[in-house]
Amino acid sequence: MTRQRQLIYNIIAAAPEHRTAEEIYDLARAEMPSLARGTVYRNLGLLVRDGEIRKLEMADAPARYDRERSPHPHLVCQVCGRVEDLPAPDGLMEGFAAARGVALTGYDLKLYHVCPACRGKRHGA
């Protein structure tokens, strides 16, 4: 475990925020200014591969990273992109797997809304 990887992991593990690679890069550079962007991406990839963190692909926006290891749905603000974890509903995959007769390997469920902060800031007519 290199210092770089530990630092990147710590940033993700320290808070429930679902940060982008760029945000993680900025936070990490505050402590290790020589850190390269490529190192952040590579280590995020390795941490994901090893199951230590989870990658969240966002619609029309950079990916975000989640310290929560187990699969669960996410509540995503359509306006600002903020992501919240939701509790995993029981039997979601099982229901579909049974209905289709297929073996599922995972799922990705995003629920979209407009968060209170964004609802405040006028939007249409």
Residue ranges in contact with a second copy by CB under 8 A: 55, 57-60, 73, 75, 78, 86, 89, 93, 95-96, 100, 102-114
Q: Which of 66, 58, 55 is nearest to 17 (CA)?
A: 66
Least separation in angstroms between residue 87's CB and DNA is 26
How is residue 93 written in tokens?
A: 């995959």
Q: Which is nearer to DNA, 5 or 72 (CB)?
A: 5
Q: Which is nearer to DNA, 50 or 90 (CB)?
A: 50
Other C-beta atoms within 10 Å of 62: how many?
Answer: 12
Least separation in angstroms between residue 77's CB and DNA is 17
How is residue 57 written in tokens?
A: 């692909």
Find all residues with CB under 8 Å of 1, minimum gap 6, and list them: none
Question: Which of 13, 14, 15, 32 contacts DNA by CB under 7 A?
Answer: 32
Query: Per rule CB under 7 A, is residue 63 in the interface with DNA?
Result: yes
Least separation in angstroms between residue 30's CB and a second copy is 28
Q: Which of 62, 15, 45 is nearest to 54 (CA)?
A: 45
Amino acid at site 34: S
Residue 1 DSSP class: -
State the residues that interact with DNA by CB under 7 A.
1-5, 20-22, 32, 34-39, 41-43, 45, 60, 62-63
